Amino acid sequence: MSAVLTPRLLVLWDVDHTLIETRGVGRAIYDQAFLMAAGRPLTKLAHISGRTELDIMTESLRMNGIAPTDEMMTRLADALIQGYQNGHVELRTIGRALPGAAETLAELTTRPTVYQSVLTGNLREVARIKLEVFGLDRYLDLAAGAYGDDNSERVKLVAIAQKRASDRVGVVFGNEATVLVGDTPQDVAAGLAAGVRIVAVATGKTGADELRAAGAQTVAADLHECSQILMHLAEEPAR
């Protein structure tokens, strides 16, 4: 009788510029949400690449002369979620799943040793909407992921996702059994600080050389190459 294979490799995907692009829709929604929550236009937006939403909202509010109180943070988060709920058709029309995203996720689901979720700076509900719009949610256990409203520090999201995935599967995903996939130096830094394996993809605004310089052990030019790398990792003997 053949042995039943259980997941032993946790793959945590970043969302924006790793799996999808909003192509300007996200910024438009942020502008609308800020006006709704704060009652004034957004004049300055914090740098967003690789950061958590809690961090971005806090800095953006301060840059616009508004104290990031718990009440204001909640209002802005709720407005962002509502904006994505209202704008899902526009997102589907203008945005896109990156080439190879669906194929890569689908192929990895055929490997029983692989368990896929997300590690993203997006709010949980925003991430869900983005992935659902492009049909990518079917390949990922979103309940096992970690999000930008779980903690303001990206590195701390790694342990949160590991714990959630381990609890759901009944398998402990240690650092050697965890792969973080992202497109920014901040993704790489979070993976290095957490001690997990990293596959950086040059699908965003950061080139391969810069991702290597940030410390990425493995860099893929696109998601097709990323798929090959992850499939190889999935076939490695258990450590």
Q: What is the pLDDT of residue 221?
A: 98
Show Cβ contacts of residue 25 under 8 Å, excluding neighbours closer than 6 positions.
Answer: 87, 90, 91, 94, 95
Averaged pLDDT in 10-residue chunks for the chain of 239 residues? 72 98 97 98 95 97 98 98 98 98 97 97 98 98 98 98 97 97 98 98 97 97 98 81
DSSP code per residue over 42-64:
-------TT--HHHHHHHHHHHT
| Token couple for 223 | 């998601």
Show Cβ contacts of residue 155 under 8 Å, excluding neighbours closer than 6 positions.
Answer: 189, 190, 193, 194
| Token couple for 17 | 């510029």
Cut 0.85: pTM above it: yes
* CA 220 – CA 229 distance, rounded (Å): 8
Among the listed residues 44, 70, 39, 40, the one whose alpha carbon sits nearest the alpha carbon of residue 56 = 44
Task: Check the CA dihedral 125-131-132-133 and report its sign.
Answer: positive
Asked whether 7 and 169 are in contact (CB, 8 A), the reply is yes
Among the listed residues 155, 153, 177, 173, the one whose alpha carbon sits nearest the alpha carbon of residue 163 = 173
Q: What is the pLDDT of residue 137?
A: 98
Looking from the CA of 105 toward its CB, the CA atoms found within 13 Å total 25
| Token couple for 67 | 């104290």
Among the listed residues 158, 186, 185, the one whose alpha carbon sits nearest the alpha carbon of residue 55 = 186
Domain range annotation of the chain? 9-21+96-234, 25-93
Q: What is the pLDDT of residue 2?
A: 41
**For the domain bounded by 9-21+96-234, which CATH number is listed?**
3.40.50.1000
Task: Check the CA dihedral 184-214-165-149 and report its sign.
Answer: negative
